[in-house]
Amino acid sequence: MVHVYNCHPFASQQIVQVEQEPGLVCCGGGALFVIATGGCKVEAYSLEQEGCPLICRFATMGTVKSLQHSSIGDYLVTIEEKNSATYLRAYTNWRYQAEEKSRVGVRLLGHLLRGASLRGGAQMEIIEIPLSERPVAVACCSVTGDLLVGCDKTLILFALRRPNQQKLVRISQQTLQHPWQNTQQSSSQNQGQSSTSNQNFSILDFERSVILHLPGITPQKLALCGGYVAVQAELEVLVLKLDATSDPKNQEEPQDSHKSANQVDELADFQLLPRHQELLGNQARDCGLSVTMERTGLEDRGQYTLTYVLYRRFAPDYFQGCTVEETRLHSIQLHPLFTSNQSACADEPACVFCFFSLPTTGYLYSLRGGVELLSAYQYPEKVLGAVLTDHLLHVITKSALQCFSVRCAAVATRVEDPYIDTTMRACPPCSLEVCALRMQLFIGLRSVCVHGRHVVLLSAADTETPEEHEHNAQRRGIELKEHTMLTGVFLAMGIDPSTTPILETLLSRPFLSKKWTGSRPRESSGAGHGWNLYVVDTVSPITLYHEMVEYSRRYAETNPQAHSCRHLLSEAHLLLRASLLQLMLPGKRTPIIPPHIKSDVEAERQTDTQVNVRTDREADRQELEEALRENCAQLGDCFSRGSQRECHLALPYYRMSGLSVTEVIARNRPLPSFPSPSSYGPGFLFYLKHFLLEEDQILSQETADDIIDVFSQSEPSHLVSVCASPSMLHASPAQAMLRLQHLESTAGASVPLTITMATMALRMDDLPQYTQLMDRHTEMLLVYGFIEEPKLLLCSGSGGQDTHPTALTRHLTHSQPGLLVAAMVALHENNKVQLEQADQVFKELGSEDGLLVDFWEAEIMASSQEVVIQELLFRLASVYIDRLTNTPRETHRDLPHTPPASKSLKSANDLINWCSHYGALYPWLSVLTPARSTGSQQQDTLHKLQSLLCGPSLSVCSVVPLLERLSEETLWGFSLHLLCATRRGQYESSMEKLLDRCPQAIIAYANHQLQDTHMALWWQKLLPELCNRTRAAVDNGILLAALKETLVVVATETSPAEFLELLPDDGTALYFLPHLLTCSQRQLLA
């Protein structure tokens, strides 16, 4: 579908004063080139000056049949005929003819002139490009300046070269010394890009790079851009990609094309009816057209790889309002677009588009990053020609010039910005329906070309174009051949067709021709009715944008949600995007023109102009950016009231507009014609939700109250989330309470709603109401409420990275610390808050050694993540050690080190009973550290640390460095060191230390630790140690009692023979005899 809008894309028009009737017209480099019908002279007119004055004129060497201009290198290339021969020539430095100099140099491709060009003179050069076949079409690359020549079955690519000046001088000297050798010297072997330093002319040359053989297609028109090659036949389009590579392995092997060529020759006498076919990307290789590469470069600059990109074939359609003869393709074009994030020296454009057209339909494809059909243009009448630009598509019919919108900017924007089509930024889609703008009427239009904002039109009333004349001549030749052949057949049968009117009428019809038609084409009139050459200037993009905006307001007055209003604003958006892309990279958009001869006044004027270019460009950029922000606001308004399917687009457009939330609310007030609450659009509500969810900007009381009113009327179910948002800090708590109470009376009570109402009561300093509301639910239900709405406890800081406590959180710190800790644990376990964020909240509350440690202890009980558990176990062990030493730590400064200001929520017994990571205290620890040895809180801390060391989860090796700060002088300090040594398997040294410091605990230690595999230590280590110590201190009753207990265990676990081996040989065996007797009796009973 094509939308039609009555916008004016054209600003003015002027007629170029041409003396003779133009036959060929092209433009480029700020100039318009005109060749009279059947003439041999080129006239160049300035498009940049009022009245299009003549720049220069120069003669060609033959009758020009085709003319192309290259902005890169500023050269002209022509296909000329002379004496029934066809030539291909390039004209460089043509601007020097403005000085009316008659000196012109003519040379062959690759052979530089040895005259004035090398000694400082300036002259136009004509480069003769020899070809083995007759050229039928040419194309110039707008990115590199390369030249593509099409012959009947081949394409030849010529690379543009700029020979180095030092090389030119050397060649000149060699030429003067050895004139007989100069015919074989080729200056095209240099790749230097520098131009002459002492001359004002550009020395260009071409190198034949590669030849493509296409036996299955006859080129009629060509296009070349950044390595892409487009070939247009009568009803076929083939797009290829040539990539230079230094790896010869990547070069495709030439395919045998003789078979396909022979097939074409064999089928030449048959009428083939093609069918519609579209092949994109790699599928285009199956088009049936073989392409063979033949490299002909004189230097080893690597190889080329060939890739099929696009193939499109059309069948003649009898129902499109055109005859079969008129159904053929035209206006093939490859159009590049660069983006601002490309480097200045990038040769490949970010986007390449391919356009071609039938008389009734035009097709625009995007080639880079996947081949895709962007738009199909349905013309209202037969189109004779079309030109694609960054902003618009210009098409001509026989009687009108019309513009269509394009989607090139939408593709380039998505290549340039990865955040397009997100909640941050948006752009109208590439699939947006195209629109047609107001047409300009003319008479007898024949051709169109475009340079910048100048559209050049050639009109010739009731006359044939050269293409039509050539086509009709061929058709009349075929009809004559058919008539002669059939007349001979009838005469051979003895029938004279001239005597039979029916046969004579029958023979007048071209029914044997491959071209079937029901009506004869129009014959050219004997004399033309006049001609004109127009230059139509388009309006600036910003002017057309303002007209589109004004046009859209007409739709908005009748229906703000009209699709046409949104579509027109989207068109205006893409228009601004394309203009900004042009301003970002002026070097890529402005053709590179070599310096040409100017007068001193003109040169001074140009210098003054260049000084102001940057200032003007910056002003234009600011104006376009301001217009783009305005357009984004308008699109945001459209989508804010739009359908549910597209309402999400209001968010990125409002963000790109730079409007504050207050301004957005003002733009979305209920319209007088829609006073109901539902008048707030879904897109506006979507924007407010995301603003309150993602932004950390604190709103004023007026704006916050407005938002509460909006949601209380439109979506009351979101009122809790709205009131909990940090942005609503300044909202009136009394008004919010009224809205929440009304929600409770209509929708029923819920835990998050109750907590939100309690928060508002707290902000009003109504503690009785706060207490009454919080007492409605149990602590567990309140925890579930916080899980459902975490912002009641936590609010995000700047950039959404930091997390801070709310007023309710600060109140819970003193009133219900257990609820706060339980809620934080639940939030962490439900991925609502990270561990570091929870730590930050408790530190900000000033409870880094109180509630923070309680949170860690509770988190260990709830968590199932091993990494989190190990981290928290280490933190807790460090905190416990700090509390016991009551000194700041030199390491792990992020952990609390001050003694707790309040009692912990969980005692050591609670943790031992409820948490598997806290182990039961070893019995011998109670002997070492009785309850009276420390204070109550210190005792609880000591038991927690001992329990961690007794538990199965803590890695003892990780806390050994921390224990070095604990002295062993106290029994509780000694107990911790002894625990670590025992956990590390150092039983023998531990028993020695225990006998030295607290022998009364040795039996309890041995009974607990020396079990199973360590049972042998009773008689291998403990018994000898006790015997030695008892012998030295006979009066020590503790050692004697320990020795007796040890002997009981040894007698129980060993045999009599083993027991006898353990008896000392110092004469004290009598002391061991009762135990030996017990051992023997036990064995007898066994």
Instruction: Give SS3 for 382.
Output: coil
* Contact between residue 175 and residue 67 where contact means Cβ atoms under 8 Å apart: no
Distance between CA atoms of 411 and 42, rounded to whole angstroms?
38
Measured in residues, the chain has a length of: 1086
Give residue 894's pLDDT: 40
3-state secondary structure of 5: coil
Q: So what's the pLDDT on residue 830?
A: 94
- Is the Cβ–Cβ distance between 1078 and 1059 less than 8 Å? no
Q: Let me know the angle formed at the C-alpha of 528 by 522 and 530, rounded to the nearest 5 degrees.
A: 130
pLDDT at 219: 93
Which residues, listed in sequence order, are joined to residue 447 by a DSSP beta bridge?
Answer: 458
Query: What is the predicted pLDDT for the residue at 172?
Result: 41
Cα–Cα distance, 257 to 213 (Å, whole number): 8
Q: In what order do the strands lie in the sheet with 531-538?
A: 10-15, 531-538, 454-460, 445-451
φ, ψ of residue 371 to 5 degrees: the values are -80, 130
**Residues in Cβ contact with 1062 at an 8 Å cutoff, skipping those fewer than 6 apart:** 1019, 1023, 1050, 1054
pLDDT at 489: 65
Helix (H, G, I), strand (E, B) or coil at 509: coil
Q: How much is the pTM?
A: 0.79
Residue 420, amino acid: I
Tell me 425's DSSP state.
B
Low-confidence ranges of the chain (pLDDT < 50): 116-117, 119-120, 165-166, 168-200, 250, 252-261, 264, 267, 300, 319, 344, 511-529, 586-603, 675, 887-898
- Whole-number Å distance between alpha carbons of 824 and 787: 9
